[in-house]
Chain A
Amino acid sequence: MFGYVRPAVDKLTEEDKERFAAVYCGLCHTLGNRYGFAARWILNYDFAFLAILLSDETACSCGCCRCVVHSFRPKKTACRTPALELAADESVILSWWQLQDGIADHGFWRGLKYRIARFFLKKAYRKARELRPAFDKSTQQHLAELSCLEKENCSSLDRPADAFAQLLSDAADSVPDAVKSRVLRQMLYHLGRWIYLVDAVDDLRQDAKEGAYNPVALRYGLPDGVLTEESRQALSVTLDQSIRVMAASYELYDFGLWSDIVQSVVYEGMYAVGHSVLAGTFRKRKRKKQADSV
């Protein structure tokens, strides 16, 4: 996954911001403790959001930890919980299969970075596969479906998005509460659909340059990878619909102390990110931000 899910910060209280950051750090520590230092590099906001959705809604115990990034000032960090472990395991498995996909899609030189990353993630993946064999199997199966659709140059938006969405919604199976599990399945399905489509839009130009498969380009006939006003409108509508289903589903379960964070994601954050991806400014911001932080 790719780090598109962001809460709208100006809608969060200091406490909520701190809690979100604690989950983010907690997930990073969980990845580190469970899978070694290399696995920490797969961390991103999407997985942190997944961890929040899976978390217990009544309690969040935090400790203070140091790490490479926060080596001087210890940071408030969520303690290891089954939800964080689940999110960590699933992120390792997902990242692994995405790397495999990257290797299959690219030639020797372009695929080199994927190969190097795979080398570092191999041990972690083996462990994660042992811990979550069912999730590994379904991920592999859905990504195989996805690559079939790519090979036949499928021009539907929904079919390839469905494969990715199904994959993500399988994470809901491990939730014992029946209502929460149903609500999460629906939320994760549309989260997956949204992430897949937003990522496809984000990759439009690069895919056009490389001649790679892109469902958005095929659906709206955009061979040069530039969105027309019409296609931008149509995409906005379809993205909005997934966000609205997520929001409506969110209202059916009490997410307790995570409510405000989830709410700020499904009522604003996703719209904002979608908007900046469609406007072509998302990557620029990211690069600028990385440059700032160095």
Chain B
Amino acid sequence: MNDPYKVLGVPSTATDEEVKKAYRDLARKYHPDNYHDNPLEDLAQEKMKVINEAYEEIRTQRKNGTSSGGYSANPYGNAAYGGNPFAGYGGYQTYGGNPAYQRIRQTINQGDLNLAEELLNAMSDHDAEWNFLKGAICNKRGWMDEAKRYFTTAVQMDPDNQEYQRALDMAEGRNEPFQPSGFGPFSTAACDNSGCLKYCCIWACCNALGGGGYWFCC
């Protein structure tokens, strides 16, 4: 196994607080919410696992060693990140309706979006679940605008469903994304004019050439 301190990016002399902070920052970065419907979700889970293991190891080392006592428990609770906290679309066990949906959720989980879409398109009843799954497929493909439309319809048809509401919240950007230190919570709509517009004016000279490409490329 790699050096757990290296994994968390702290020196081995770091205090418990510093270790905890480094762990929290990384856990926030690779949090499943940031990889929801991202085809790279598995890589993020892998990262999360390595970070959890490193944190656990440092904790154990320090508990057994002389460095510190009374180390607090994993602030995130290992279980939360251990498995797939999303349980993907396959972990949708309580669904009492059409078993065909169960199969489609599994297909989406396995990453076979074309098959899942075919199965959905063959169905005639376009209910809330149908719209939700359509939206999930769009999201995985990166078709965010269409996904939002489907999620909106799903929520309209079944306003009490938490899962649909959560998907819509994410599609409307209401979740808080990870920001590395030094970067503000930027968004395209609310970008502070004073600080935000300082992009690349330092190569004005190159621009005479580079910008020249603009007029015929567009």
Contacts and interface: CB of A to CB of B under 8 A. Distances in A.
B99 interface: no
B49 interface: no
A44 B142 contact: no
Contacts of B95: none
Given A156-B146, A240-B173, A186 B38 contact: yes
A292 B204 contact: yes
B138 interface: yes
A252 B40 contact: yes
Interface size class of A (residues with CB under 8 A): 35 or more
Contacts of B208: 69, 290, 293-294
User: Considering residues A25, A40, A45, A241, which has the most beta carbons from chain B within 10 angstroms of its beta carbon?
Assistant: A241
B43 interface: yes
Given A25-B206, A290-B207, A232 B189 contact: yes
Nearest to A187: B40
A165 B142 contact: yes
Nearest to B179: A267
A158 B144 contact: yes
B142 A193 contact: yes
B30 A251 contact: yes
A214 to B, nearest CB: 13
Contacts, number: 199
A238 B199 CA distance: 22
Interface string B164-198: 00000001110001111011101111010101111
Nearest to A158: B143
Interface of A: 1-3, 6-11, 17, 21, 24-25, 28, 40-45, 68-70, 95, 98-99, 102, 113-114, 116-117, 156-159, 162, 165, 179, 182-183, 186, 189-190, 193, 199, 203, 219, 232-245, 247-249, 251-252, 263, 267-269, 271-276, 278, 285-286, 289-290, 292-294
Interface of B: 29-30, 34-35, 38-40, 43-44, 47, 138, 141-146, 148, 171-173, 177-180, 182-184, 186-189, 191, 193, 195-218
